[in-house]
Amino acid sequence: MSAAHRETSLETKLAALQCHFTWDLQTNDNELARIRDGLLDIGTDERNQWLGHIYNLLGYIHFLLKCPDDARKYFTRAAEAFCHTRGADEGPWLLVNYANVAWLHYHNGDEAKSQEWLSKANALLEEYQSSSQNNLHAEIYAEKGWALLKYRSKIERSLASDYLQKASEMQPDMVEWYVSFVSASLNYPETCPDMLEKMKNAKRQDPENLFLAAQYLMVRARNGEQVLDKVRKLATKIMRNPVSSYSGLKTILTIYQIYDSVDEAIALAEEALRNHPGVRYLKRCAALCYKWKVISPNSHPMSNQEIKRAIDLHKDVISLYPDSSFVKKMDLATIYTKSAHCSDKAGEIFQELLESRLEPPEKQVLFNIYAKHVFFHLKDRNKSLHYHIKAVEIPEESLFRRHSIRELHKAMNRDNNHPMRGEIEECLNKLQIHFDPLDPEELSGSV
């Protein structure tokens, strides 16, 4: 067999495997950097049952970011983590890992090594066949679901919930799979009307999971229950645990925001930072709390000292997350608008972002937020509508696009002789977006 045929045959066999290389995951650099930074913020606590999955996904992301040595390092760590958490040297939990390693060797040009790991993956598949020919192994559903959960699109996160549910139904003894399915379902409460019952059940199965406990309280808070006392007690427990984005701290801060207790959120975040001053994730949490205070209509006016602290934190976060600080740059611009001495810097940041290389979803977010900035701070209604049009023209379904559509809709209803009416009509008609007259209440306070 010629070398070309051997390579084609090997690639065909690799393509049949289930792993990160065959799951058609998004690959734009900005999204990859965001996911990478998020995974690194989870930490390396050996008690984390998802540590093997974290390292597997980190390995794949580093491969896509053209860091093959780091990819190999993380795939090795993934296998070690699986062996540690499952208490065995080999099992079906390594199916995805072996396939990833086979693909990595293939892309590195080492066909012999690739074939070796392909054989290992196929041997595991043979030994641990799914009970149904129509289903993948439960371990594969769990890992695929967990990986998709790290992406932001509604389709991917919905699929993540489905895969995690399937995995937990196939192996009910894997408590962390069920807990992750319930956590994933929080993104789509409309599809899970019995969410509170599911969360209660998950808490009974995993009573020591403080991240889950925080999520449970957040659902109750959003349902209008008064649970602040329970939140404060849980916050005390969380502060005693190792720092991690899975600790539940950010969820606790979000609950304070739900109750308009942003100052309490700031105090807790600052306490966490005093205890762990070098942890970038805690700076990110603190910066978020100050951003909430800036934008909250119910907060007391911020002092110059608070504004300076907010600015300094955001600058730190931007430097600590250089490849995934897009949102924080916009937050910093928003904070600058509140400072009498720095308001012009907001425009500089927006201009820098408008000239930067962004993916379409990020452009859409930027155009929508800049449109609001232009209206409220520059008092330029036509320029604001121009950027709402630019946001709508990007075919990404999102809250930002829906908001921009609504603002264009309101402009049409407010003024039949608006100088941009023809441009707005052309935009909405081109995209076949239908609009009806709105109630006066819906028009109030908008662009």
Angle between helix 399-414 and 381-393 (nearest 10): 130
State the pLDDT at residue 284: 97
Mapped onto helix, strand or coil, the DSSP state of residue 340 is coil
Distances (CA, A) of 409 to 86, 391, 420: 56, 14, 12
Check: CB of residue 149 under 8 Å from CB of residue 185: no
How many other CB atoms sit within 10 Å of the CB of residue 396?
A: 15
Q: Are 351 and 370 in contact (CB under 8 A)?
A: no
Alpha helices of 379-398 — where are they, by DSSP H?
381-393
- pLDDT reported for residue 363: 96
Distances from the Cα of 372 to the Cαs of 94, 298, 358, 363, 378, in angstroms?
49, 19, 19, 14, 9
Q: Are 353 and 331 in contact, with CB atoms under 8 Å apart?
A: no
Give domain 3-129's CATH architecture: Alpha Horseshoe (1.25)
For residue 197 the two structure tokens come to 């019952």
pTM above 0.75, yes or no: yes
If DSSP codes are grouped into helix, strand and coil, which group holds residue 434? coil
**447: number of Cβ within 10 Å:** 20
pLDDT at res. 333: 94
> Residue 188 has what pLDDT?
65
Q: Which two tokens stand for residue 365?
A: 């977010």
Domain residue limits, the chain? 3-129, 208-351, 358-447
CA distance 70 to 59: 7
Residue with tokens 């709390």: 289
DSSP string, 143-157: HHHHHHTTS-SHHHH
Same fold? 3-129, 208-351: yes
Distances (CA, A) of 107 to 7, 11, 99, 175, 302: 11, 10, 13, 36, 54
Q: CATH homologous superfamily for 208-351?
A: Tetratricopeptide repeat domain (1.25.40.10)
For residue 139 the two structure tokens come to: 């371990």
- Position 437 scores a pLDDT of 43
Per-residue tens of pLDDT for the chain, all 447 residues: 555 555 679 999 999 999 999 999 977 888 899 999 999 999 888 788 999 999 999 999 999 999 999 999 999 999 999 999 999 999 999 999 999 999 999 999 999 999 999 999 999 999 998 777 778 999 999 999 999 999 888 888 889 999 999 999 999 999 999 999 998 888 766 556 688 888 999 999 999 999 999 999 999 999 899 999 999 999 999 999 999 999 999 999 999 999 999 999 999 999 999 999 999 999 999 999 999 999 887 767 788 899 999 999 999 999 999 999 999 999 999 999 887 667 789 999 999 999 999 989 999 999 999 999 999 989 999 999 999 999 999 998 889 999 999 999 888 888 778 889 899 989 988 887 654 444 433 333 333
Length, in residues, of the chain? 447
Q: What is the pLDDT of residue 430?
A: 85
Give me the DSSP letters along 205-263: H-TT-HHHHHHHHHHHHHTT---HHHHHHHHHHHHHSPP-TTSSHHHHHHHHHHTT-HH
Give pLDDT, residue 310.
95
Q: If we measure between CA atoms, which residue out of 205, 203, 277 comes closest to residue 243?
A: 277
What's the pLDDT score for residue 30?
87
- For 58-75, give the secondary structure using H, E and C: HHHHHHHCCCHHHHHHHH
